[in-house]
Amino acid sequence: MLVPKNLYYTENHLWLRKIGLYDFCVGITDFAQKEIGEIHLVEFNLQKKNLKKGTVFGTVYGINKTFQLVAPCDTKIMEVNQNIAVMPSHINTDSYNCWFLIFSTYISTNELLTYEDYIQIIK
């Protein structure tokens, strides 16, 4: 199972890539996409630009299960990757380059899981 060391993770199987001082890309992990199975549909639930921690911002539908995308922190959405909705199956082949959102937040990376922490969760 692929788990890049240079990313941050959440307990609900999201990865976060720091791309600026306060900005992150977010997607689902390889572990999550394998659990979901072949992905057929990604729907976003984004009525507002600001998300509170724990808010469901989308759903990934696969052959094995449905997976809710949950905001890992309070955040402001900067960009939505609409290509994911058009070609959701790309998540199965390249989950760490298929991001859902770019968001801005003041979260400390200490509040996120490291590679080592995430490996312990998925063992």
- Reported as a single tens digit per residue, the pLDDT across 72-109 is 999 999 999 999 988 999 999 999 999 999 999 988 88
**Residue 1 covered by a domain:** no
pTM recorded for the entire structure: 0.93
**Residue 13 covered by a domain:** yes
- Structural domain that includes position 93: 8-122
**Residue 3 covered by a domain:** no
**Residue 2 covered by a domain:** no
Give the pLDDT of residue 72.
94
**Residue 98 covered by a domain:** yes
**Residue 20 covered by a domain:** yes
Distance between CA 81 and CA 75 in Å, rounded? Answer: 16
Contacts 24+ apart (CB under 8 A), 85-90: 85/41, 85/42, 85/43, 85/44, 88/39, 88/40, 88/41, 88/42, 88/60, 89/38, 89/39, 89/40
Overall number of domains in the chain: 1
Q: Which residues contact 41 (CB under 8 A, 6 or more apart)?
A: 60, 61, 85, 88
Q: Which two tokens stand for residue 24?
A: 């992150």
Give the pLDDT of residue 104.
96
CATH number of the domain where residue 20 is located:
2.40.50.100
